[in-house]
């Protein structure tokens, strides 16, 4: 475990197809999420910039087969959602977890940490994540997954709208662990605010009763505010840690953000001599592997020959004065200004009387190839080391909680933030600098402690809309308004993809229904325009399987659908040919592919190829439904075929009935491999064949003797 040792997004990439995913975040950037996270998880091949239209079409097709749900804080999400994943917004409490659950064939990958779904959270900031793979057939893993699933169920009730994708992912998880009994996990525990006790108490309960806590480390970008009335230090996070079963020589490490560029570059007004800055924090340039590195030290004293210093790990050293004097003259070492950090000064003073307090500064400015780079500290880490029967161990808490009462000392009943973390049991005493190696030791008295202030957020008028739901089967968008409205709503208008959907003054009494409505590939949110500005509301899709096959152009023809189902052409090749035909106005390219019509063998090949695809081992339930029920699947082809038969143009009525009877026979003889979703797949086939039988009854020709013989053969006689 090391702070900033790998790109967090790389940890989400696994060999094998993702079957579903749930993400949680406080701040949320749709553009980053779609172009970086979803692109990796769904294995999208198109370039999101150079091939944007193809990228979005590819993403839509992938999301139909891989359900994805994101749960975020409504006040901190950015606009720009384009893809039809579910975006669930929490409004009633501060929603702070940073979690990813990704389902694969034999295991689930759980990713818990401090980084939000933004470019900063997954690259630019200094963050800390834990990623673990949990096998479905392992009792300890199954138990942890059930706990995580219960957390999802609890927090989904906080969202304004539940959507559809969260339940699909949870159902897929449930099917895969249903037969695995839970067993206790000794080295990993899931802690969160939706339990009956605060997270910090849950963590301290993991410390054995007969153990003594020897060292505690707290690293966080945000701390609680000072509140020392009536001994409130005992009710603070630091106070609780400093008094919990401590040994007499308890060490309390506190890691704080040091946001001063002087940490890596000589500032104006630096001390001209060592004598002028005894007791100060200094920096010097060192070279290692042909790269410049910045090393920090505290100057404790000096003589004519030597400097007495403590290095970044508080280890006393002596260094030759003449060498450092030359570095000072060359600008290779300098004194840094007195550090100013955000943390509760009075509380830290009070806690210093209870333990050996050791502050650590995390430099947010670093050198990369000689360039100054700013990487804000956003990691959260709590370490509790203890000794039991002569053996030292450390509990590490990694996740979303800051060092505040709202995160660690309150429960949902107290109105706490929604937080989640993983507790990991490590051997030996692990301290903050072991994990966050850039930390620099500094005396508490040499730091200026300051309170951090936060501006109030303006009203989010998007909360005046409860939900925007798209029904692809009915081609309608229903906008439900919040009742009662959380904010006064004056004159407003609604837009989607640049088009006006409606307008008015005040909150409407009834839902706004837009029909016909087509969900474009380029945007999946509506815009509410008011005098206060623009506010964006995500669109939910009732059933992704029913999404139109080609949102940017005409529907596929019957011949095109049959060619796709029989695997004689790919959707990518078909779209390329169609685009060329639209541009040139010449349909000859399509004619070369499909000819003037199709033969019975084309229909039979489509049915039989689809049956083989449906019976493919490892196919997920959403993928199965898309092949069976989707507009480009069997349902779409049969619907086009039935319409053609009823019109009597491409197909005669008796031909259409005959093709449908062969489809029914093919599906009723379908043998599906045993997997976690076999029962659900059979249920989908049963519903489909029941509707097919009904359609065949309406379509069946009458009067001819051969019809009766064929009907008896297929078992569809009236």
Query: pLDDT tens digit string along 148-207?
Result: 999 999 999 999 999 999 999 999 999 999 999 998 766 899 999 999 999 999 999 999
φ, ψ at 320 (rounded to 5°): -65, 130
Share of the chain above pLDDT 90, in %: 71
**What is the rounded distance in angstroms from the CA atom of residue 553 to the CA atom of residue 104?**
34
**What is the rounded distance in angstroms from the CA atom of residue 382 to the CA atom of residue 358?**
15
Average pLDDT, the chain: 89
**What is the rounded distance in angstroms from the CA atom of residue 129 to the CA atom of residue 380?**
9
Q: How confident is the model at residue 232 (pLDDT cuts 50, 70, 90)?
A: very low
**Residue 185 exposure: Cα atoms within 13 Å on the Cβ side:** 22
Q: How confident is the model at residue 446 (pLDDT cuts 50, 70, 90)?
A: very high
Give the pair of three-digit tokens for residue 670: 């379908």
Q: How confident is the model at residue 597 (pLDDT cuts 50, 70, 90)?
A: low
Mean pLDDT is lowest, of 105-109, 307-311, 502-506, 600-604, for 600-604
Structural domains in the chain, sorted by start: 8-185 (3.30.870.10), 199-260+340-450 (3.30.870), 264-335 (no CATH), 461-545 (2.60.40), 558-714 (no CATH)
Condensed to tens digits (0 to 9), the pLDDT of residues 193-212 reads 999 999 999 999 999 999 99
Q: What pLDDT shows up at residue 618?
A: 85
- Of 173-187, 368-382, 409-423, 636-650, the range with the highest mean pLDDT is 409-423
**What is the rounded distance in angstroms from the CA atom of residue 215 to the CA atom of residue 211?**
12
**Residue 497 exposure: Cα atoms within 13 Å on the Cβ side:** 11
Q: What pLDDT shows up at residue 566?
A: 85
φ, ψ at 602 (rounded to 5°): -65, -40
Q: Report the b/e string of 197-214 with b at 16+ CB within 10 A.
A: ebbbbbbbeebeeebebb
Condensed to tens digits (0 to 9), the pLDDT of residues 250-299 reads 999 999 999 999 999 999 989 999 999 999 999 999 987 778 889 999 99
Q: What pLDDT shows up at residue 538?
A: 97
Could you please report the per-residue DSSP string of 110-162? EEEES--BSTIIIIISB--EEEEEEETT-HHHHHHHHHHHHHHHHHHTTBS--
Residue 375 · residue 394 · CB < 8 Å: no
Q: What share of the chain is helix, strand, coil (3-state, %, to 5)?
A: 35, 30, 40
Q: What pLDDT shows up at residue 350?
A: 86
Closest listed residue to residue 259, CA positions, set 116, 377, 124: 377
Cβ-count burial of 222 within 10 angstroms (0-12 exposed, 13-18 middle, 19+ buried)?
A: middle
Q: How confident is the model at residue 559 (pLDDT cuts 50, 70, 90)?
A: confident
Region 550-568: mean pLDDT is: 76
Q: How confident is the model at residue 456 (pLDDT cuts 50, 70, 90)?
A: confident
**What is the rounded distance in angstroms from the CA atom of residue 564 to the CA atom of residue 575?**
11
Q: How confident is the model at residue 245 (pLDDT cuts 50, 70, 90)?
A: confident
**What is the rounded distance in angstroms from the CA atom of residue 372 to the CA atom of residue 357?**
31
Q: How confident is the model at residue 700 (pLDDT cuts 50, 70, 90)?
A: confident
Residue 430 · residue 385 · CB < 8 Å: yes
Q: What pLDDT shows up at residue 5?
A: 44
pLDDT at 8 exceeding the cut of 90: no
**What is the rounded distance in angstroms from the CA atom of residue 687 to the CA atom of residue 682?**
9
pLDDT at 316 exceeding the cut of 50: yes
pLDDT at 386 exceeding the cut of 80: yes
**What is the rounded distance in angstroms from the CA atom of residue 613 to the CA atom of residue 628?**
10
pLDDT at 414 exceeding the cut of 50: yes
Q: What pLDDT shows up at residue 374?
A: 94
Give the pair of three-digit tokens for residue 379: 């990691």
Report which secondary-structure segment, H or E, holds 169: helix 165-177
Give the pair of three-digit tokens for residue 611: 């049956």
């Amino acid at each position: 475990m090391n702070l900033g040792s790998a790109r967090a997004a790389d940890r989400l990439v696994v060999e094998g197809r993702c079957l579903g995913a749930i993400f949680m975040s406080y701040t949320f950037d749709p553009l980053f999420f779609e172009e970086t996270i979803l692109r990796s998880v769904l294995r999208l091949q198109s370039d999101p910039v150079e091939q944007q239209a193809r990228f979005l079409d590819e993403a839509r097709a992938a999301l139909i087969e891989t359900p994805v749900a994101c749960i975020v804080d409504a006040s901190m999400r950015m606009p720009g959602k384009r893809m039809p994943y579910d975006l669930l917004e929490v409004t009633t409490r501060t929603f702070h977890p940073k979690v990813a659950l990704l389902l694969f064939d034999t295991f689930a990958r759980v990713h818990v940490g401090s980084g939000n779904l933004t470019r900063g959270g997954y690259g630019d900031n200094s963050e800390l994540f834990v990623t673990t793979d949990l096998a479905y057939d392992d009792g300890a893993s199954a138990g942890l997954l059930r706990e995580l699933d219960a957390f999802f169920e609890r927090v989904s009730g906080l969202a304004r709208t539940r959507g559809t994708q969260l339940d699909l992912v949870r159902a897929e998880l449930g099917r895969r662990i249903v037969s695995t009994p839970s067993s206790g996990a000794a080295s990993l525990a899931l802690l969160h605010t939706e339990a009956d006790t605060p997270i910090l108490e849950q963590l301290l309960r993991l410390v054995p009763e007969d153990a003594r806590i020897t060292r505690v480390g707290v690293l966080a970008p945000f701390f609680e505010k000072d509140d020392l009335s009536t001994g409130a230090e005992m009710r603070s996070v630091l106070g609780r840690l400093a008094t919990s079963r401590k040994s007499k020589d308890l060490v309390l490490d506190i890691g704080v953000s040091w946001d001063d560029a002087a940490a890596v570059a000589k500032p104006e007004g630096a001390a001209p001599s060592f004598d002028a800055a005894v007791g100060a924090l200094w920096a010097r340039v060192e070279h290692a592997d042909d790269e410049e590195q910045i090393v920090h030290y505290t100057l404790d004293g000096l003589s004519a020959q030597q400097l007495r210093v403590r290095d970044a790990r508080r280890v006393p050293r002596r260094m030759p004065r003449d060498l450092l004097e030359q570095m000072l003259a060359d600008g290779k070492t300098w004194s840094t200004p007195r550090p100013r950090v955000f943390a509760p000064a009075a509380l830290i003073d009070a806690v210093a009387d209870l333990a050996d307090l050791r502050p650590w500064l995390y430099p947010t400015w670093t050198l990369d190839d000689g360039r100054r780079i700013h990487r804000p500290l956003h990691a959260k880490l709590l370490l509790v080391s203890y000794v039991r029967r002569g053996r030292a161990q450390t509990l590490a808490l990694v996740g979303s909680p800051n060092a505040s009462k709202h995160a660690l000392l309150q429960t949902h009943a107290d109105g706490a933030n929604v937080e989640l973390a993983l507790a990991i049991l490590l051997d030996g005493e692990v301290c903050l600098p072991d994990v966050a190696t850039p930390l620099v030791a500094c005396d508490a008295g040499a730091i200026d402690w300051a309170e951090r202030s936060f501006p109030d957020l303006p009203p989010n008028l998007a909360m005046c809309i409860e939900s925007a739901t798209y029904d692809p089967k009915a081609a309608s968008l229903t906008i439900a308004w919040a009742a009662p409205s959380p904010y006064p709503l004056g004159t407003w208008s609604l837009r989607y993809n640049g088009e006006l959907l409606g307008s008015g003054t005040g909150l409407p009494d009834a839902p706004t229904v837009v029909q016909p409505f087509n969900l474009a590939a380029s945007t999946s949110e509506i815009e509410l325009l008011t005098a206060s500005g623009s506010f964006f509301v995500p669109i939910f899709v009732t059933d992704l399987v029913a999404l139109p096959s080609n949102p940017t152009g005409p529907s596929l023809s019957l011949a095109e659908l049959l060619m796709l189902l029989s695997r004689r052409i790919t959707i990518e090749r078909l779209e390329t040919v169609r685009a060329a035909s639209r541009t040139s106005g010449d349909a000859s390219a399509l004619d070369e592919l499909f000819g003037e019509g199709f033969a019975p063998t084309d229909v039979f090949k489509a049915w039989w190829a689809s049956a083989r695809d449906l019976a493919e081992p490892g196919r997920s339930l959403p993928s199965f439904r898309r092949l069976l029920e989707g507009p480009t699947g069997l349902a779409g082809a049969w619907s086009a075929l039935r319409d053609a038969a009823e019109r009597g143009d491409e197909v005669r009525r008796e031909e259409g009935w005959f093709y449908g009877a062969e489809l029914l026979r093919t599906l009723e003889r379908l043998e599906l491999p045993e997997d976690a979703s076999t029962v659900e797949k059979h249920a989908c086939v049963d519903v489909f064949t029941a509707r097919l039988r009904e359609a065949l009854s309406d379509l069946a020709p009458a009067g001819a003797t051969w019809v009766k013989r064929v009907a008896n053969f297929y078992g569809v006689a009236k």
